[in-house]
Structure 1
Amino acid sequence: MTRTALVTGAARGIGAATVDRLVADGYRVMALDSCEGPPKATSDDLDAVMARHGDRVLGRVVDVRDRVGLAGAVADAVREWGHLDVAVAAAGVVHGGEALWETPDPVLQDLWDVVARGVWNTAAAAVPAMLAGPDPSRCRFVAVASAAGTHGLFHLAAYGAAKHAVVGMVKGLAADLVGTGVTASAVSPGSTDTEMLRRTANLYDVPVEELARRQLIRRVIDPSEVAAAIAFCASPAGGVVNGTVLHADGGFEG
């Protein structure tokens, strides 16, 4: 039986690389993105992902803040393919550049809504479909966390708080899923070659390479490398990574 997946934040960056990797591994993928436009991804970005893969990828413009929209996308995937095996919550935004006490409330709210509640909403929409499917023991929920979900980073307190929440969610979700066969985990990237990394570097007014020096591999990570880690967690064999975080961060030193 062909495995199927839903990926949020799929129009570019780690999300797009994850779609590419899952398709290469034989999946059919429902690719979702809000496509809000610069500095976020656009509908053209999502169209490009779909164009690379033909009928193996279906695309939908869905915001992870919209649980009804997510539920509709899950229903579409099940209607099209008969089941849903994997959900990857990769949608995210980054804000920062101020100390915690200087961070505006709208910034904190946006990070919480997209980064934290976005993962919550994706799980709430996707997990029931996995439990109702033909073989829950092969089903996986994978969230993209961050090195900021483990470390405290300068002038990124709000972003770090949201990513810490993501880690807490997958741990709690895994506990809720005990005995069902479905597993939940997070993959925590380090400095990865994405638009979000470039925006982070701009917050600090440093080159991207400066951020990469905080990793033991002393280079920027390619999105495909993070996607490979996500693909393992999403695989039937990846059930051993459950209720925990796989650190795909190149040895992030904090």
Structure 2
Amino acid sequence: MTPGPVALVSGAAGGMGGAIVAGLVEDGFHVVGVDACAPMPGAASRPGREQALRDLESRSPGRVDTAIIDVRHGAAVGRLIESIDSAHQRLDVVVAAAGAVAGGHAMWEAPEGELDVMLDVNLRGVWNLAAAAVPLMLRAEPPRSGRFIAIASAAGHRGLQQLTAYGASKHAVVGLVSGLAADLRGSGITATVVSPGSTRTEMLAATAALYGLDSVEPLAERHLVERVLEPDEIADAVRWLSSPRSGAVTGAVLHVDGGFTT
């Protein structure tokens, strides 16, 4: 049994997911980082790279395990949780950071299947992780202190032009986690959402391309901090929510959006 806390991070091959993995390692976690590392037809964002997963392991030998897992597939996620149980007999923190973006047109001009893709990646992936991981987290002896954290988006709270399907999927993530927190009442396990603003990642670059922009900088126009955010800033929020200091926070959204939704 792993002596220290164990965390699972999906979307670990992305810039934000990778920063979260690195931060949790600094905080003493053994981290399992997973990513599909494969193109998702209908999504504009690039897939994570297998090399990015390998780099996470090489930077933290013995502290990070990685696997190629598509969280859209419940059976694969179930096998992943079984492997974590077998190797570590515990799971303390789950961060659902896998996601994709699509859009660049008005809602009524969206191609067939765009909404399905967004819901499958951005919502079903979170659902599958929670459904498989929470029972393992509940096996911990009370008093428990497990954390389930989903990465949503400022688009989960504001309508964004030409990103309707993406925004709908992120609004749904907020609703899912709210319900999960209610189901976890009294268990000691919390469920929260981090909603980033425009953060310097490949997904943001894909979003800029959907708008026909040459750079990501204009996407920070609605930030009160007047700049694009960095992945480490989102990771810092996740690290706090993963800590014992956040025990009074559940069913809530932490807006790490530079003031976008103020």
TM over 0.5: yes
Deviation by residue 1:58-83 (Cα, 9 ceiling, x = unmatched): 11110011111112211222222221
Which of 103, 109, 116 pairs up with 1:102? 109
RMSD: 1.4
Deviation by residue 1:198-240 (Cα, 9 ceiling, x = unmatched): 1101111123111112100011111011001011111122222
Change (3 A) 1:135 1:62: farther
> Could you tell me how far 1:253 is from its partner in structure 2?
4.7
Change (3 A) 1:253 1:169: closer
d(CA) in 1 for partners of 2:137, 2:169 = 26
**Structure 2 counterpart SS, 1:39:** coil
The AA in structure 1 aligned to 2:71 is V
Of the structure 1 ranges 86-95 and 75-84, higher mean CA displacement relative to structure 2 is found in 75-84
> Could you tell me how far 1:106 is from its partner in structure 2?
1.6
**Residue matched to 1:157:** 164
Deviation by residue 1:144-176 (Cα, 9 ceiling, x = unmatched): 000000000000110000000000000000000
**Residue matched to 2:126:** 119
d(CA) in 1 for partners of 2:190, 2:224 = 30
2:27 corresponds to 1:25:
yes
**Structure 2 counterpart SS, 1:219:** coil
**Residue matched to 1:4:** 6
d(CA) in 2 for partners of 1:20, 1:136 = 27
**Residue matched to 1:243:** 251
**Residue matched to 2:18:** 16
> Could you tell me how far 1:44 is from its partner in structure 2?
1.4
Q: Retained in 2: the 8 A contact 1:185–1:241?
A: yes
The AA in structure 2 aligned to 1:233 is L
**Residue matched to 2:88:** 81
d(CA) in 1 for partners of 2:133, 2:152 = 18
- Percent of aligned pairs with the same residue? 50
**Structure 2 counterpart SS, 1:158:** helix
Structure 1 unaligned blocks of 5 or more: none
Q: Retained in 2: the 8 A contact 1:6–1:74?
A: no
Deviation by residue 1:112-131 (Cα, 9 ceiling, x = unmatched): 10001111011001111000
Report the TM-score when normalising by structure 1: 0.96
Aligned residues: 254
